[in-house]
Chain A
Amino acid sequence: MSTTTITVTINGETIEETVPVRMLLVDFIRERAGLTGTHIGCTYEGVCGACTVQLDGEAVKSCLMVAAQADGHAITTVEGLAEGGTLSPLQRAFNEQHALQCGYCTPGILMNMDEFLRENPDPSDEEIRHGLVGNLCRCTGYAHIVDAVRQAAKETG
């Protein structure tokens, strides 16, 4: 099995690892970096969005990339959202609005909406709902997620 050595900065920490060329980025994040907050829901189809992380600040589905493609890039995962142990306004809003139940899809949604709010600081509910179409949630029915994103937008906007 051919391998390659990559250098990736994850949540501000730079790590160098030799990985199989075919290793998916999501598996690299979970197994090599030990960051298990990034989840696998549709098993590498890029549909459910549970594995969403940010690559150089842009939300991407980490099951649709191999780890080698992240060489030289900076990744932020859900573990990197809270700064200095303080929850971000979005994370806090998810708690206050009861925007999660099982929490399996939540990390991917947070990473997507964190970027979304940077691009859309004052979104309408419809814009939020359309911004969420790349993330499947089975528990909440989405309404409380929309409430949470709206709350975070108000607080930060």
Chain B
Amino acid sequence: MSGTSEGWVGTEFHRKEDHRLTTGRGRFLADLVVPGMVHIVFRRSDHAHARIARIDVSAAKAMPGVIAVVTGDDIKDEILPMPQPVVQPALPANYPRHWPLAVGRVKWHGEPVAAVVARDPYIAEDAAETIEVEYDPLPYVGDPESALADGATIIHEGWEDNVIFQMDFTGGADADSQKAHEAEVQKVFDGADIVIKERFTCHRCGVTPMETRGALFDWDESDGMTGWLTTQRPHIDRLALSDILDIPAEKLRIIAPRDQGGGFGVKAPFYREPMLIAYLARKLGRPIRWIESRQEHLMAVSQERDQIHDLEVAASKDGTLLAIRDRGLADCGDGCEGVYWGFLMPFLGAVELPNAYHWPIGDIKVKVAITNKSALSPARAFGELPTRFAMERAIDMVARRCGMEPADVRRKNLVAELPYTSITNEYFDSGDFIKVWDNLMAEADLPGFRARQAAARAEGRYLGIGFGLGVELSGVASELFVPMENQPGYGAATVRLDPRGKVLVFEGDAPGGQGHETTVAQAVAHSFGIHPNDIIVTTGDTGTTPFGSGTVGARAGSYFVSAAVQACEVLKEKIARIMAHDLELADAAPADFSFADGFVTYEKDTNIKKTFREAVERIIMAPINLPAGESGGLEHTAFFEAEKPMIAFNADVCTVEVDIETGQFKILSWTTSEDVGQIINPQIVEGQMQGAIVQGLSNTMFEEFVYDENGQQLTADFETYKLATAADVPDIKVTHAPTPCPYTPLGSRGIGEGRPSDVPGTLCNAICDALEPFGIEITELPLRPDSLWRQIQAARGAS
């Protein structure tokens, strides 16, 4: 429907969320209080792998103020074990059976063993400390290679080995076709001018949010269960809890607080703790609240990446990429985590390994091994940060072997025509990669940099320039989401018009800082020709919102906003039909009415118009004399699903200076070029990019989960698990080279989720460019000055 010539899409509009958040009036989970509420604290395993010989909870139970103490044995016959279908992917894998508390054995340092419910959280914590657990230690399996070695200790009872998941992404389903395909790929390698073969490793790290996890469950015999949960997926949590606790779904309402202190994927799984808290709230008849400590959080969740890739690339000497071969291996941890099971991240990482380059052929296989660590949980750049690091580094190595600029090898091999289907069957719907790349190169001024670099090198200073790029999911289509997570990909929005001409929007997903309230308000205001402040958005409450699979995979700008716009269009047509009827405009079509500046106007005679409020109020409050077949009221729920999966694209350049005496380096500049389609709110888009790139830098340079030789997790606080501070990171220059997406009503793309993924490769490429005289090729993350210094020393010693 035409008519809104200028509007709110693409304009800078300061966020609606900010007033409450800058005045201390946000309402996060830890701020919620229910009358009679009591508190729960978990006692977690001190061992990485052990049989539980004995648990003595008598001292805890005897403490004044303690209401209940439970162990795995107390609950294993009361709660159905995981997996349950709604949180089990449709991919063939071994799904480890587990309960919220360890039963029989503990399998990682920090696994919940017992829980204490008490009147006061201080008392609950004291009581949990008094629980005596006697362990018979079992051998610790601490890395995927030893987990897969012959004679390895099998971690999950009844399994034949420690493989949770393996897949051949390119060779077909049966052994014969895979073998034939391997041979075909080998032929290309045999005939190639250049073959690069490297092992790339990416350490365990993630994107821990500033707000830890939490839950508050309240049971009432007649109403059932109300649960407030830090979650990106309230509707999925509701179904999963219903299955596991055998509570009819209609008696369960899950509410993600309107304010959540970041998610980044970490709040997307169906975790063990909420199961137990919901169970106990019903059993004890008391509202129970859990606020996870930072130590628990860093022991139990936020751990991602952790992949090894033996990557081979065949190329011709003019820099044309010919074939790729990858054997990926991921350290899953124990895999006991609903929805993701620790292996979906490496799965998607392999799918996205080819990136935006055209590969005529490839042979890609991945294995995911169970170890005695906490299960990998998702983090922004889901599974692909390690594969993109490997790929972006490998491209630079090919360039070096060809004697070409890495930038030229990239441009030469970029997928030039879309749509395109990759060798791993990833579909790229639309966009213009070359345009984004050329925009970046205009910003980069490569010849100018090379001149400065040469001059600096003559003075003994080492400057470097690095490039990287990434194709990212823009929402997750049902085509991918149903097999991957057994969930629908559509975006859903309910748009309800208020008789006074205001608009209520309901979203079943649950944002955590992405600014959905503002973005969708702008889109809806644009559609109806009213002001964004006239739109009120409700998110994440299963009692009031339409079904949504959750805030994941950059779904908001692609799927959710599109659903809201579609709902607006349906309502506008109804308003137009009824207005045409009222004004006896027999020839008027809905498209003849425009919605702008608070008016609904008949475009063929612009003297004929009504205020938006009048038009709306007439239909909601005075539903008489309606056209035949029309009813009163104005509310519509739309489910948006694009026909094909959609993507967004970006390319990055950074420059660095490395001090070869210390291995210290400084990032001098960082510029991105983005295709995010039609931008809805430029500030929010830029904020997503700034934040994502810094998360990528923080992962690359600082963060690392470390386990010692016995599986003790040594990095469970922010002193040892270091996040980037303001003084550690550069300002990012964000530029745009957009192509509107033809498959969304506004041309928008979902952005931000995958964005950290090309950061480690880009930065390491710049460092290796600076250190080119020493022939240093970084293949291992994290990137630390001490390891760089050792490599420089070794190279200098050798020369």
Q: A-side interface residues toward B, CB under 8 Å?
A: 20, 22, 30, 35-43, 45, 47-48, 50, 77-79, 81-82, 87, 91, 94-96, 98, 100-107, 110, 125-126, 128-130, 132-133, 135-146
Within B4-29, the residues touching A (CB, 8 Å) are: 14-15, 17-19, 21-28
9 pairs of A and B residues whose beta carbons are closest in the complex: A37-B24, A102-B513, A104-B261, A103-B21, A141-B694, A101-B513, A132-B726, A141-B690, A78-B24
Would you call B693 an interface residue if the criterion is a C-beta within 8 Å of the partner chain's C-beta atoms? yes
Contacts of B211 in A (CB 8 A): 39, 41, 102, 104
B484-516 interface mask toward A, CB cutoff 8 Å, 1 = contact, 0 = none? 000000000000000000000000000011110
A47 touching B695 in the complex, CB below 8 Å, given contacts A102-B210, A139-B262: no
Partner of B30, one of A36, A98, A128, A142: A36
Partner of A96, one of B14, B212, B295, B725: B14
Contact B294 A103 (CB under 8 A): no
Would you call B482 an interface residue if the criterion is a C-beta within 8 Å of the partner chain's C-beta atoms? no
Q: Which of B437-445, B680-688, B784-792 contacts A (4 or more CB under 8 A)?
A: B680-688
Contacts of A103 in B (CB 8 A): 17-18, 21-22, 26, 259, 261, 513
* Other 12 A-B pairs with CB < 8 A, given A87-B19, A102-B210, A132-B726: A48-B718, A77-B24, A87-B23, A95-B18, A102-B209, A103-B26, A104-B261, A133-B725, A137-B726, A138-B262, A141-B692, A143-B690
Q: Which of B80-88, B348-356, B582-590, B727-735 contacts A (4 or more CB under 8 A)?
A: B727-735
Contacts of B294 in A (CB 8 A): 41-43, 45, 48
What CA separation (Å) do A129 and B14 show in the bound complex? Answer: 23
Contacts of A39 in B (CB 8 A): 28, 30, 210-211, 261
Would you call B307 an interface residue if the criterion is a C-beta within 8 Å of the partner chain's C-beta atoms? no
Contacts of B17 in A (CB 8 A): 103
Contacts of A91 in B (CB 8 A): 22-23
Contact A102 B259 (CB under 8 A): yes
A43 touching B513 in the complex, CB below 8 Å, given contacts A98-B15, A142-B694: no
Q: B-side interface residues toward A, CB under 8 Å?
A: 14-15, 17-19, 21-28, 30-31, 122, 207-212, 259-262, 264, 291, 293-295, 512-515, 683-684, 686-687, 690-695, 717-719, 723, 725-727, 729, 731-732
Contacts of A144 in B (CB 8 A): 683, 686-687, 690
Contact A81 B23 (CB under 8 A): yes
Contacts of B295 in A (CB 8 A): 43
Contact B513 A139 (CB under 8 A): yes
Contact B122 A22 (CB under 8 A): yes
What CA separation (Å) do A78 and B19 show in the bound complex? Answer: 12
Contacts of B264 in A (CB 8 A): 138
What CA separation (Å) do A79 and B21 show in the bound complex? Answer: 10
What CA separation (Å) do A49 and B295 show in the bound complex? Answer: 16
What CA separation (Å) do A148 and B298 show in the bound complex? Answer: 31
Q: List 22 A-B contacts (CB under 8 A).
A: A36-B27, A36-B28, A39-B30, A39-B210, A45-B717, A81-B23, A91-B22, A98-B683, A98-B686, A101-B262, A102-B260, A103-B21, A137-B210, A138-B264, A138-B695, A139-B691, A140-B694, A141-B690, A141-B732, A142-B694, A142-B729, A143-B732
A36 touching B31 in the complex, CB below 8 Å, given contacts A82-B23, A132-B727, A133-B725: yes
Partner of B23, one of A20, A78, A105, A129: A78
A146 touching B25 in the complex, CB below 8 Å, given contacts A36-B31, A98-B686: no
Contact A129 B210 (CB under 8 A): no
Contact B14 A98 (CB under 8 A): yes
Partner of B718, one of A47, A95, A104: A47
- Interface core residue of A101, A107, A137 (most chain B CB under 10 Å): A101
Contact A42 B718 (CB under 8 A): yes
Contact B690 A136 (CB under 8 A): no
Contact B21 A100 (CB under 8 A): yes
